[in-house]
Structure 1
């Protein structure tokens, strides 16, 4: 099993990253705020506007440490990485499968079924833990959505085209987010959720989800690259310039498990508060610097939690599940596995 290494998150917007010996050093206004050995790092995610030194970028590229630059609200800007690793034959197989509709279907079916099943588990856990505290109408709505998501997951088995599976994925998302507001137990209205909004997020819940999805996207892309796959060429998500389709594919299974569940916990436990968000004049909402730090600590803690992988039967930290799924996908593309087993959270 791959060892889980660290990701450094640089949240100070005026930070400067540089190399000193074999270490990454973070400075703010000329004062060192932290350092970490490069060989212990899996990636760097920076919200800093100044950036980093060319020497650091070269050292990270040589060590296989990708640097991702994001805006304060979590929107991806750029990524610095070294030469691609992995077997060129695997990438060629990936491209052939992506161009073959018949071969795409089993992979997409596994992704969509796992996503719907994991969304259903989020609702089931909410009903189990807090169903008695919900008003009857909310409890009925969540129960109906849970049943519908289970039905959607089963319907994927009968679908034989990518287009119909994409339709089911959209139906699952609409069903899930239609009741997401009922899972939020803060009653002051500041965390009211009426639907997904992205660029920019228009409320606090969407700002939190978008931020967590950006973190998950970084991890999924790194996992795919580590196993020799091209993150740009997906199966569920069609090719589009500038879009990492396969990273988005992998994210779909893991959003409910890693991001959505964490967002609900942060809100319901009061770890994020209404004043942790900045309401911009243009209508967008973003997190404060202090809130980003709080969320990133919780994100790292969530990734360290262990569970038993349903396909492999092995225990692994949640933070390695993206690597496990990338490995399973690569084995399927090589012909070592008959199908791609999506990750189903239990």
Structure 2
């Protein structure tokens, strides 16, 4: 096929085609030089952090001479990734996040991380698994309070905390007056069911996200349907906020997932049952308490990331799109996002402690 006949499509989604042997394949049309440039751009923006994220091909975590040895996975920007050593007791590591389809962690490394009280998180497909969450001194009264506490009272406390966080992070919200009245008035106290509280939360969220609409600064060839961020929802069926089809939502979803893992570990360290929530409905396969407490820090995450996203000039190759249209992040961009939200660890710890004190006072 001549160069004149082939025109690179603007659509970044992979294309399915039939091979000569009759089988089907999926091909990405994004130029390798552009993909490598994006990956290299984000690699250069990584900073020293208390959280290290392993991405790429075949990362590893092991121990050698009593030091933790972390080898990054190969990416388009770094096919010969560096190896970093962390001596026991003189490091600043708080978390190791693994976001890679392969690689390994040795048993020695697991013992080393646990002895140093370093969290280990596995990210995959929008979910997190927190592997190291040893409880030294579980507080039985906390779980008793969780199981016997008034769900409406607890959900009301969560919603008030969310309102306060929104007003603190974004005092110029168009519905700020309404939020102040809900926070300090008697309206929430008069609601007698969790469903009523969820309806109030849904109305608040709708107005909140209408305020956060903006145009992304970007280079040429950027898909036009990505230029405007105007809704916090997926374009795929009735999936809500899951399966992001816009870069902003993809970044937010990834950040929320990582912070949820941090929340889960802090809850587990205190012996809380992460399945027992209030504002989020019970689900046998969901950490409802984690998503409840995440509501108290979402506004901080949003302020941090939305401000940053407005300051970046984006490339189409900063993101990959599945055949279905689901957007994901470049491997090194994911590492940058984790570094940014890792600054909220102290806020997470404070929120979990506030929740435990509230339970014990019930």
The TM-score bracket by the shorter chain reads: 0.7 to 0.9
Q: CA RMSD in A?
A: 2.9
1:35 to 82, 85, 88: 85
Distance 1:77 1:226 in 2: 17
Alpha-carbon separation, structure 1, partners of 2:181 and 2:99: 41
Does the 8 Å CA contact 1:118/1:256 hold for their aligned counterparts?
A: yes
Give the match for residue 8 of structure 2.
none
Q: CA deviation at 1:255?
A: 0.5
Displacement of 1:287: 0.7
- In the alignment, the residues of structure 2 paired with residue 38 and residue 158 of structure 1 have an alpha-carbon distance, to the nearest angstrom, of 54
**Structure showing the higher helix proportion among its residues:** 1
3-state DSSP of counterpart to 2:94: strand
| Other-structure match for 1:118 | 165
Q: Please report how far the alpha carbon of residue 59 of structure 1 lies from its aligned counterpart in structure 2 after TM superposition.
A: 3.1
Give the match for residue 357 of structure 2: 331
> Which one of 334, 343, 352 corresponds to residue 292 of structure 1?
334
In structure 1, the gaps of 5 or more residues are: 128-141, 304-317, 339-346
Contact 1:231/1:246, CA 8 A, preserved across alignment = yes
Aligned length: 291
Structure exhibiting the larger radius of gyration computed from Cα positions: 2
Structural mapping, 1:158-197, within 5 Å:
158-182=190-214, 186=217, 190-197=227-234
Please state if 1:87 is matched with 2:117. no
1:46 matches 2:98:
yes
Q: Contact conserved, 1:68 with 1:218, CA < 8 A, in 2?
A: yes
Instruction: Sort the Cα spacing of 1:168 and 1:37 in 2 relative to 1 into closer, same or farther, 3 A.
Output: farther
| Residues 155-194 of structure 1, C-alpha deviations (whole Å, 9 max, x = no match) | 3233233222222222222221233215x56497524232
CA separation of 1:38 and 1:94: change in aligned 2, threshold 3 A: farther
| Superimposed CA distance per residue, residues 261-310 of structure 1 (whole angstroms, 9 cap, x where no aligned partner) | 1221122111655431112222100111232233233334xx2xxxxxxx
Q: Which has the higher relative contact order, 1 or 2, with Cα contacts under 8 A spaced 6 or more apart?
A: 2
1:200 alignment partner, SS class:
coil
8 Å contact from structure 1 (residues 149, 175) kept in 2: no
Aligned 8 A contact 2:120 2:132 in 1: yes
Q: Could you say which residue in structure 2 is the equivalent of 1:18?
A: 62
Identify if the C-alpha distance between structure 1 residues 334 and 117 changes in structure 2 by more than 3 Å, giving closer, same or farther: closer
Separation in structure 2 between the aligned mates of residue 56 and residue 26 of structure 1, nearest angstrom: 10
- Give yes or no for contact 2:244–2:250 (8 Å, CA) kept in 1: yes
| CA–CA distance in structure 2, aligned partners of residues 298 and 275 of structure 1 | 21
1:69 counterpart SS class? strand
Q: How far off is 1:52 after superposition?
A: 1.4
Q: Match for residue 306 of structure 1?
A: none
TM-score, length of structure 1 as denominator length: 0.73
Q: Deviation of residue 123 (structure 1)?
A: 4.0
Question: Unmatched 5+ residue regions in structure 2?
Answer: 1-48, 75-79, 219-223, 235-240
Normalising by structure 2, report the TM-score: 0.70
**Which residue, out of 244, 249, 258, partners 2:292?**
249
Are 1:61 and 1:80, in contact at CA under 8 Å, matched by a contact in 2?
no
Superposed CA deviations along residues 128-160 of structure 1, whole A, max 9, x for unmatched, are xxxxxxxxxxxxxx62x3344334434323323
Q: Which residue of 2 is the match for residue 66 of structure 1?
A: 119
Residue 199 of structure 1 is matched in structure 2 by 242
Correspondence for 1:133: none
Judge conservation of contact 2:129–2:261 (CA < 8 Å) in 1: no
C-alpha distance 20-233 of structure 1, shift in aligned 2 (>3 A) = farther
